Amino acid sequence: MRKRRAPLSCLPALALLGFLLVLPARADEAPQMSGTNAAQMKFMAFPGMPTCATGAVASGDPTKGPSVILSKAATGCTFPWHWHTPSEHVMMVSGSARVEMKDAKPVTLKAGGFALMPSKHVHLFKCLQTCMLFVYSDAAFDMHYVDDKGGEITPDEALKKVKETAAKAGP
């Protein structure tokens, strides 16, 4: 029995089909692992945040989308009442902190502790003993400080109430 060959005019279509079948395989390839230790990270103050806290971006870009930040805060460092557009996931590495949310019971976090502040829920964070923590945001990170009535105020106004100073943007 004689084998039938595909006409030469089918070759471009077959080549395109083969190329399209290879594309999904490349798109599904596992991302490359990345990692670093805290000692190798560059910690800096973030504008509008208290100067008693610094952070280093571990993953992502907090100005554009989801990110993970490793933060360090001194004993007594307070982020007064505020909210964020993204949900904020806090994972304590060391130290202890108190997290309060309006209309919720306060939580004291210790090493290994976790807290979730849903999007736009007003909360505060106070480091009780020198803190190191990861903060995961599921969207671009922002900070909206509020007064006692829930009205938005400037970082300087908010931080003055807790005897902190707002970090300024670099040169």
- Specify the 3-state DSSP secondary structure of 101: strand
- How far is Cα 11 from Cα 15, in angstroms, rounded to an integer? 6
What type of residue sits at position 16? L
pLDDT at 34: 80
pLDDT at 32: 77
pLDDT at 35: 85
- Model confidence pLDDT, tens digit, residues 114-131: 999 999 999 999 999 999
- Model confidence pLDDT, tens digit, residues 56-77: 999 999 999 999 999 999 999 9
* Closest residue by Cα to residue 153 from 83, 88, 106: 83
Q: Regarding predicted confidence, which is higher, 25 or 154?
A: 154
- Point out which residues pair with 67 in neighbouring strands: 60, 137
Under CATH, which architecture does the 42-161 domain have?
A: Sandwich (2.60)
Q: Which two tokens stand for residue 20?
A: 């399209």
Q: Which two tokens stand for residue 71?
A: 């933060």
145 phi, psi to nearest 5 deg: -75, 150
DSSP 112-164: T-EEEE-TT--EEEEEEEEEEEEEEESS----EEE-TTS-EE-HHHHHHHTT-
Q: Which residue ranges make up each domain of the chain?
A: 42-161
- Model confidence pLDDT, tens digit, residues 12-68: 443 333 433 444 445 556 777 888 888 899 999 999 999 999 999 999 999 999 999
pLDDT at 142: 95
- Model confidence pLDDT, tens digit, residues 79-115: 999 999 999 999 999 999 999 998 889 999 999 999 9
10 phi, psi to nearest 5 deg: -85, -15
